[in-house]
Chain A
């Protein structure tokens, strides 16, 4: 009896019990709703289940990186949407971070004009709805670019018009793959050299001219490799026939418009995050750095930024997640991402709203968790590097 009482009164047991109760109720509720929905749908004559994923999609997509054709399955269509979402989100995140970082620094600049301009940009961007941004960028991109017959020619191999940027594609990629291998090896060499240089400096106090070496290993060697490979590769050059250029790969204007709007919009928010991070660095640290004789550039690079990063990373993560979710605004301008392709075209072709919305939710959740995980890892790494 006393053992039983002790067991019941054990805190760990009680915690586990209540957690199990909550978990079972949530799961039960979920099962109830799913079964209820599927029963009602059967009664109303609405098809349900996931068989539709294997059906032929029959939908033509203007921007495909996966080898999808209209004869592919709806699952393949979904994958096109996922890839296009990830592509635009990833490039936007990189651009927004770079842009936001510089705007944030500019806002702290002692130059009145620069800091005022940066401040005005941030206030402007933060007080305007993103949809407006997306539509504005789209109309600018479409309106500013010429019709196919008046295309801007870039060295007569790439052509820019309001149908997009048409670039040549390699019909045989063997040489390019070798070049990529050489470039990766060269970059690895640079990483190894940098590690060696850092160790040597710690031990002997002497430094290697690692910047000049990087110029060769990270820039010259890869460039030369790709240059030679490009000359060896047979290319399909776009040519104007009929309505538009044929052949090559087309980077659609919707991509550019969405990228532009996401990057410039998010940059405004990231600028504020960066500014907050830098202002959070204790003044004494900067004064100490200056007292040691570091130049203002060195202070920024070696003291301010590393300290600021720790403050910046957590809010930066939510901005990155926002970019990922905001990429769904692509649906407003026909950029073929998940919402547009899967929740638009596929949902209407099949009418299976519940399944399609559930899949889309799960995919956004999965991608968001991946971003969070990566940023959590990065955050942990940044806080650990203290001596």
Chain B
């Protein structure tokens, strides 16, 4: 009898202890641990694309993708400046991510089936809806992509644009010559020197690259899009908790715009907001940060230091930038765009 009682007590104690352990412990996240130990996020970005990731002559990075890396640093480390940027070419980006040299890519990378299925990478939402088009010289009088029959087109080898362009012209029985360069910069330089009649890339990327041409006013970006290229941050397989953090920081920036939380009013909203979702987002309720292994004011830090999606967009590629891109598809779903975020509940 005594033995049974002791056995039951031991079992109960064991259950309690393990339940306690479950309540406090999160799934292990080696990437998050490494980031915290390092004190910085390693972010793989573009070699240099104005509006998305571009380092000025002082080595200061700006851009939509750069802002996202900063937001992630603010959420994870509480300081948006704690990012180490690794510029990667079209070819380098996958090995750099797969081998663990960077914690994530935020690098104008199109989400595609085969990349998702064969590269061991996951795409964590969409921070820019890109569509592919062409830049041509104004004097060629090409008004649409169909006018490019017989043209020579420069493109970055290994990009989605390389295949998109070949497919699109082949489907329409149009004959173009495609010249594949290893780097975006080499391709656009060859276009600028007259080797090609057109250069093809996403419309947002083209707006950024047009600024870098010798005489930007002699070139026009065609308005018709030949593809749909949603782009967003990329992580490698495994470490689900890190993947969640990457996904929900982006969701949080979009949700903040939808909820009207900006870097200017975030302190006031945090103190006084009556909206439960705002309070959950900013960490005064719900303890959402802790569920990911972060501090509860993770999104407060993001919005305070970097801003919501709209602030970041306008500053980097929108009306407050030289690119002057309209929101278009990158507008909230409530305003006719495609940006959508699941609720913070």
A residues at B contact (CB < 8 Å): 41, 44-47, 58-62, 70-71, 139, 142-143, 147, 162-163, 241-244, 246, 250, 252-254, 331-334, 336, 340-341, 343-345, 347-353
Residue of A44, A142, A254 touching B193 (CB-CB under 8 A): A142
**Binary per-residue interface labels of chain B (178-218) against chain A in the complex, 1 for a CB within 8 Å, 0 otherwise:** 11111000110010011101000000000000000000000
Known: A46-B119, A58-B166. A162 touches B180 (CB 8 A): no
**Chain B residues near A333 (CB-CB < 8 A):** 186
Give the one of A41, A62, A71, A243 with max B CB within 10 A: A243
B157 sits at the interface (CB 8 A): yes
**Closest chain A residue to B237, Cβ basis:** A45
Main secondary structure of the interface of B (DSSP, over half): mixed
Known: A44-B236, A243-B148. Contact between A147 and B180, CB under 8 A?
no
Segment with Cβ contacts to A, from B91-99, B276-284, B286-294, B317-325: B91-99
**Pick the contact of A353 from B95, B140, B186, B238 — CB < 8 Å?**
B95
CB distance from A85 to the nearest CB of B (A): 15
The reply to whether A45 and B91 contact each other, CB–CB distance below 8 Å, is: no
Q: How far is the CB of B153 from chain A (nearest CB, A)?
A: 9
**B14 contacts A by Cβ under 8 Å:** no
Q: Are A44 and B118 in contact (CB under 8 A)?
A: no
Would you give 22 A-B contacts (Cβ < 8 Å), ordered by A? Answer: A44-B236, A45-B237, A47-B119, A59-B163, A62-B177, A70-B170, A142-B194, A163-B152, A163-B195, A243-B152, A244-B151, A246-B175, A334-B179, A334-B181, A334-B186, A345-B157, A347-B158, A348-B94, A348-B159, A349-B114, A351-B94, A352-B118
Q: Which of A60, A142, A147, A344 contacts B178 (CB 8 A)?
A: A60
Q: How far is A147 from B178 in the complex, measured between Cα atoms in Å? A: 17
Check B190 against A334 for contact (C-beta < 8 Å): yes
Chain B residues close to A by CB (< 8 Å):
90-91, 94-95, 98, 114-115, 117-121, 140, 148-152, 154, 157-159, 162-163, 165-167, 170, 175-182, 186-187, 190, 193-195, 197, 236-238
Closest to A135 in B: B186
> Given the complex, which residues of A lie within 8 Å of B190, measured CB to CB?
142, 334
Assess A345 versus B158: contact at CB under 8 Å? Given A142-B194, A162-B195, A334-B190.
Answer: yes
- Is A60's CB under 8 angstroms from B165's CB? yes
In angstroms, Cα B237 to Cα A46, docked, is: 9
Assembly CA distance A45 to B121 (angstroms): 8
List, in ascending order, chain A residues with CB within 8 A of B195's CB: 142, 162-163, 253
Q: What 14 additional pairs, Cβ within 8 angstroms, besides A243-B197, A345-B158?
A: A44-B120, A44-B236, A44-B237, A45-B120, A46-B98, A59-B163, A60-B166, A163-B195, A244-B197, A345-B157, A345-B180, A347-B91, A350-B114, A351-B118
Closest to A350 in B: B118
Alpha-carbon separation in the docked complex, A45 to B115 (Å): 11
Chain A residues closer than 8 Å to B157, beta-carbon distance: 334, 340, 344-345, 348
- Give complex CA distance A84, B176 in Å: 20
Q: Does A344 contact B91, Cβ atoms closer than 8 Å?
A: yes
Q: Known contacts being A147-B194, A351-B118, is A243 close to B166, with CB within 8 Å?
A: no
Give Cα A345 to B180, complex, Å.
Answer: 8
Return the 10 tightest CB-CB contacts between A and B, nearest first: A348-B158, A45-B120, A47-B118, A60-B178, A46-B120, A45-B237, A242-B150, A60-B166, A344-B157, A243-B151
Distance of B25 from chain A, by nearest CB (Å): 24
Task: Name B194's closest neighbour in chain A (CB-CB).
Answer: A162
Return the contact of B167 from the options A58, A139, A334 (Cβ within 8 A): A58
| Residue in B163, B167, B236 whose Cβ sees the most chain A Cβ within 10 Å | B163
Q: Which residue, B98, B159, B167, has most C-beta atoms of chain A within 10 A? A: B98
| A62 contact from B148, B178, B193, B236, Cβ within 8 A | B178
Give the CA-CA distance A340 to B158 in the complex, in Å: 10
Question: B117 — which chain A residues lie within 8 A by C-beta?
Answer: 47
CA distance A242 to B193 in the complex (A): 20
B152, B159, B179 interface centre (most CB from chain A within 10 Å): B179
Q: How far is the CA of A58 from the CA of B180 in the complex (A)?
A: 13
Residues of B within 8 A of A62 (CB): 152, 177-180
Find the residue from B95, B121, B150 having the highest chain A CB count within 10 A: B150
Provide the bound-state CA to CA distance between A71 and B163, in Å.
Answer: 11
In contact, B180 and A336 (Cβ under 8 angstroms): yes
How far apart are B222's CB and chain A's nearest CB, in angstroms? 14
Minimum CB–CB distance from A132 to chain B (whole Å) comes to 15
Write the chain B residue with the least CB distance to A47.
B118
Shortest CB distance B181–A (Å):
5
